[in-house]
Structure 1
Amino acid sequence: MRPIIEFCTNNMHHGTDKVLQRLESNPDYDVIEYGCLGNCGECYSNPYALVNGEIISATTADELYDNIIAKIKEIEAMFDLLDS
Structure 2
Amino acid sequence: MNPIVEFCISNMAKGGDYVYNQLENDPEVDVLEYGCLQNCGLCSSGLYALVNGDIVEGESPDDLLQNIYAHIEETWIF
- Give yes or no for TM over 0.5: yes
TM-score by length of 1: 0.87
* Mapped pair 1:68 → 2:63: no
Q: What's the CA shift for 1:25?
A: 0.3
Give the fraction of aligned pairs with identical amino acids, expressed as a percent. Answer: 51
Q: Answer with 44-53 or 11-20: which moved more.
A: 11-20
Query: What CA RMSD, in Å, does the superposition of the two structures yield over aligned residues?
Result: 1.1
Q: Structure 1, unaligned stretches of length 5 or more?
A: none
Q: Report the structure, 1 or 2, having the larger helix content.
A: 1
SS at match of 2:49: strand
Q: Which residue of the partner structure matches residue 5 of structure 1?
A: 5
Q: Which runs of structure 1 show a deviation greater than 2 angstroms over 4 or more consecutive aligned residues?
A: none
Higher Cα Rg, which structure: 1
Partner of 1:23: 23
Structure 2 residue runs without a partner (length 5+): none
- How many residues align? The count is 78
Please give the alpha-carbon distance, in whole angstroms, between the structure 1 residues aligned to 2:11 and 2:3: 20
- 2:7 is paired with a residue whose SS is strand
Higher mean Cα deviation, 9-18 or 64-73? 9-18
